[in-house]
Amino acid sequence: MSWRPPAYRFRAKDLVKALCSDETDQARLLLAAVHGKVELFADSIAWNGFLWLVMDTCKVDGKPLYSGKELIDLKASLPIVWR
């Protein structure tokens, strides 16, 4: 299918690199996906790995920095096809 853009699979570490730094190849792929130049795919385990990292390390006074709703909204806003 020549009409489809190139596809890439993100693992948990790719997702972390894409969301936590603007200067990585993964961040550039994420931006390319926003513009429809590539398709990104990820398994739910990649999201779970990202969630674990955020919930375990991003805390203020021992409480998570992000709410469950904010993380759900983040996942829904990403140009990634979740499998």
- The confidence band for 1, taking pLDDT boundaries of 50, 70 and 90, is low
Over range 56-60, report the average pLDDT: 93
Tell me the two tokens of residue 66.
């992000």
| Sequential DSSP letters for 54-80 | HHHH-EETTEESS-HHHHHHHHHHSSE
Decide: 42 and 83 in contact? Cβ < 8 Å.
yes
- The confidence band for 4, taking pLDDT boundaries of 50, 70 and 90, is confident
* Averaged confidence pLDDT in the chain: 95
**10-45 confidence digits (pLDDT tens):** 999 999 999 999 999 999 999 999 999 999 999 999
Half-sphere exposure of residue 81: CA atoms within 13 angstroms, side-chain side: 9
Question: Model pTM?
Answer: 0.88
